[in-house]
Amino acid sequence: MKDVLRIVNLCVGVDGRVILKNVNLYIQKGQTFALFGPNGSGKSTLLMTIAGSSKYKIYDGRIMFKGVDITEKATDERVKMGLGIMYQHPPKITGVKLKEILKHCAKLGGTEDKIYEYVKMLNMENLLDRDVNVGFSGGEAKKSELLQLLLMNPEFLMLDEPDSGVDLESIAVIGEVINDLLDGKSGIIITHTGQILKFVDVDYGVVMYKGRIACIGDPREILKTVEKYGYEECARRCLRTL
């Protein structure tokens, strides 16, 4: 099977409210998808569900990763299989140092010898002894997430708005790292503004609207349509052509 990730008829809710409705998505090895959609359309829920968050309840459907049904697997097992997620807003954990987490990431990815190199590359030396995400600026939090992913070296990347809340200069740096991460790998990138697509090549664009996948197509075309007409109109047009 060429598909590295298969999401089949996935229905997901939280507190009895349905968020994702019959989501189907097949991603092949080497492919990267950009995920568009308005706030609350279910983009982050989809990534969190793939990662195995217990906050979200799966009513129906399944998630296959590298040919294995991971729907019931614990998050750490999924991660050990090669899933990696970059948070949009990672939680602040008092008392847990960034360097401690990096050690775990490096152990997982077999990249213990790369810690120093990556830390230096991202200019993160001063954050190593800080409590993770506590008092980090927007850009620092993004870099910290990317640093962890670099060390984990996952096969499949899920990036939740890597371009939100950072200045243009930082987006260029972030884009470069993402390109490194995606080299020969697969992934999903959520982007609101599409800024990151100036630096990262993606194969397909997906529009999520009200918990459904409204369309899949050329990411630049989709972005143009969204910029011109807005999501509602885009989704209306997409759904009409489906």
Q: Hey, how many other C-beta atoms are within 10 angstroms of the C-beta on 16? A: 6
The yes or no reply on residue 217 touching other proteins (CB under 8 A) is: no
CB of 205 to other proteins, least distance (A): 25
The yes or no reply on residue 155 touching other proteins (CB under 8 A) is: no
**Would you say 209 and 235 are in contact if contact means Cβ atoms under 8 Å apart?**
yes
Which stretch of DSSP H or E encloses residue 176? helix 168-182
CA 160 to chain centre: 4
- Identify which of 37, 18, 28 has the alpha carbon closest to the alpha carbon of residue 226: 37
If the CB atoms of residues 97 and 210 are measured against other proteins, the closer one turns out to be 97
Ranges within 38-67 binding other proteins (CB under 8 A): 51-55
The yes or no reply on residue 90 touching other proteins (CB under 8 A) is: yes
Give the relative orientation of helices 168-182 and 138-152 as an angle to the nearest 10 degrees.
10
CB of 93 to other proteins, least distance (A): 5
Q: Which of 1, 68, 96, 242 binds other proteins (CB under 8 A)?
A: 96
Pairing of strands 186-190, 156-160: parallel
CB of 88 to other proteins, least distance (A): 12
Q: Which of 31, 41, 45, 148 binds other proteins (CB under 8 A)?
A: 148
**Would you say 133 and 165 are in contact if contact means Cβ atoms under 8 Å apart?**
no
CB of 96 to other proteins, least distance (A): 4
The yes or no reply on residue 141 touching other proteins (CB under 8 A) is: no
Three-state secondary structure call for residue 232: helix
Which among 33-41, 69-77, 167-175, 179-187 is the span making contact with other proteins, rule CB under 8 A?
69-77
CB of 238 to other proteins, least distance (A): 31
Dihedral sign (CA 2, 5, 26, 181): negative
The overall longest dimension of the chain from CA atoms, in Å, is 53
Q: How far apart are CA 145 and CA 141, in angstroms?
A: 6
The yes or no reply on residue 156 touching other proteins (CB under 8 A) is: no
The yes or no reply on residue 94 touching other proteins (CB under 8 A) is: yes
Contact residues for other proteins, defined by CB under 8 A: 51-55, 74-76, 79-80, 84-85, 87, 90-91, 93-97, 100-101, 104-105, 107-108, 131, 148, 152
